[in-house]
Structure 1
Amino acid sequence: MKLQTVGLCALTLALAACGSSAEETNPTDETAAAPAPVEEEPSLADLATSAEGPYAPEDQCTGLYGFDSFRGQLRRTVTFRDAKGLAALADPAIKLDFGGTSGVEALTSKVEADPELWDDMADVLALGCASESETSATMPAFFATMPKDVDGTSAYLVTANDAPVYTDAEGTTPGDATISWDLVKLVGDAPAEGAELAEVATLDGKTTGYMKLSQLRSAIDYRILANRGDDGWKITAFVAGD
């Protein structure tokens, strides 16, 4: 009787061990079907850190009296989406569009109604700063440094290193040329809503083709203008368009 009990116990333990091993080594259908993580597109700030090209982000404003402190505060307010902090950095008459909207209260309402504007400000800050005097700053830098005769409504900045230029409107056949952080202009009409590519040419006309709109930034997209007055640096305009 004792021998039979021992044998049964051994058999029971062996079966349990086999069952446990099978559960551990065979993934469930749910685990096997788990989707692969989606890779996020690099931010404009990430792309700008390794940018190379004629209009790669530059900083002409570091030497301006008090500007580094002001810009540091602005970066913090954007990072933390601090509407009150942003209001404190704005001129009372800050310009917000070309239709007459202005003022700190309107600025606060604007960012609260459209949180994506914080991302727009982050992009602006990532694209450098240009200055034409000791009391003025323009961000992004290329808006102030591009040739004055360029039509901003049809000009784009290529925001990538070695961005391919395709020979077809579907973007399936890359040509021999690539463009890095340079200005291009639209060829023909503006791209239709929902389009992924636009037909463009370099300003000298030597390179033409189709480029991904995700790698192009309109020259008249959002920009920030700042000026230094008796109460220090203030944002005097946050506008897009012309």
Structure 2
Amino acid sequence: MTGRLSPLLIATAALAALTGCESGTEPHASPSAKASSAVAPSPAPSSEAASAPEPEASQVAPPAPAASPEARYAPQDDCSKQPGWPAFRKALVSSIKARDAQALSKLAAPDIALDYGGGNGPAELVKRLDDPETKLWQELDAILPLGCAVQGGLTAMPWVFWNVPENIDSYSAMLVLGDDTAMLDTVGGKTVENAGWTIVGIDPMDFDTDAKAIRVTAHDGTKGWIETRKLRSLLDYRLIAEPKDGTWQITAFIAGD
């Protein structure tokens, strides 16, 4: 996203490449985003499926991400040394903590993208922030501690958004939050391994946000259960910003693909 591209088109193009279908999260190739490829699902061992104790969690063995066995995606801050970024982030954090929609809108570009259906602009951002049903303040709260990445002159929060390996299908993968988050053999069972800050596979058709835990597959094919609250979609909300006239502007706050 022969002439000069607008900031919004640049940001949209950066978003498009990550999911492999965003030629138009978001969210879900640009020099900043990683293309996704389909990962063949692993067969579900019938013995494990039969013994799973929790009916609300998925019984289908999800596809295993094809990532390095040692790969960890703990948040990093690649943005702090960018000119003007510290002041921008301070203003961003302040507006979020104060739940000040007007202050946040002043950090947004005139054509900030808010969805893939044409929703855009600071006024629309304020409207959505002021609507408690959207829970956008909570989404912003969740993004802040997840780091920041730099690619092609743009920044993205969370950091993992621009650091997903090309061989991982973002539709069927989740980031495991926390340093010591355990993968369990059954829901509420024993620890199989520490899955903190890894990317695990899920069955997106069976993902239930209300379930206590979700059945996942680790990079090495190990299957187990992880608390749902400890999983974050790779296509969840992200905030994209770019420098303009010596400061930074939010050019997209968007989720999905």
Give the TM-score taking structure 2 as reference length: 0.68
Distance (whole Å) between structure 1 residues aligned to residue 223 and residue 122 of structure 2 = 43
What do the CA deviations read for 1:142-194 (whole angstroms, capped 9, x no partner)? 111111232222211111222222223xx132243121111111047332352
Alpha-carbon shift at residue 201 of structure 1 (Å): 1.1
Distance (whole Å) between structure 1 residues aligned to residue 243 and residue 220 of structure 2 = 37
Distance (whole Å) between structure 1 residues aligned to residue 192 and residue 104 of structure 2 = 45
Native 8 Å contact 2:148 2:159 kept in 1: yes
Residue 230 (structure 1) aligned to one of 211, 225, 245? 245
Distance (whole Å) between structure 1 residues aligned to residue 192 and residue 185 of structure 2 = 9
* Alignment partner of 1:110 is 2:128: yes
Task: Please identify which structure carries the higher helix content.
Answer: 1
Residue 131 of structure 1 is matched in structure 2 by: 150
Distance (whole Å) between structure 2 residues aligned to residue 159 and residue 96 of structure 1 = 25
* Alignment partner of 1:185 is 2:204: no
SS in 1 for 2:129: helix
* Alignment partner of 1:198 is 2:217: no
Which 5+ residue runs of structure 2 have no aligned equivalent?
A: 1-70
**How many matched pairs?**
186
* Alignment partner of 1:67 is 2:82: no
The aligned runs of 1:109-188 (5 Å cut-off) are 109-114=127-132, 116-133=135-152, 135-168=153-186, 171-187=187-203
- Cα 1:99–1:196 change in 2 (3 A) is same
SS in 2 for 1:123: helix
Native 8 Å contact 2:109 2:121 kept in 1: yes
Distance (whole Å) between structure 2 residues aligned to residue 148 and residue 71 of structure 1 = 29
- Which runs of structure 1 show a deviation greater than 3 angstroms over 4 or more consecutive aligned residues? none
Residue 231 of structure 2 is matched in structure 1 by: 216
For 1:65, the aligned partner's letter is: P
SS in 2 for 1:84: helix
Q: Percent of counterpart pairs with the same letter? A: 34
Distance (whole Å) between structure 1 residues aligned to residue 168 and residue 244 of structure 2 = 31
Give the TM-score taking structure 1 as reference length: 0.72
What is the CA RMSD across the aligned residues, in angstroms? Answer: 1.7
For 1:131, the aligned partner's letter is: V
Alpha-carbon shift at residue 139 of structure 1 (Å): 0.3
* Alignment partner of 1:77 is 2:92: no
- Cα 1:235–1:199 change in 2 (3 A) is same
SS in 1 for 2:130: helix
For 1:197, the aligned partner's letter is: A
Distance (whole Å) between structure 2 residues aligned to residue 166 and residue 189 of structure 1 = 21
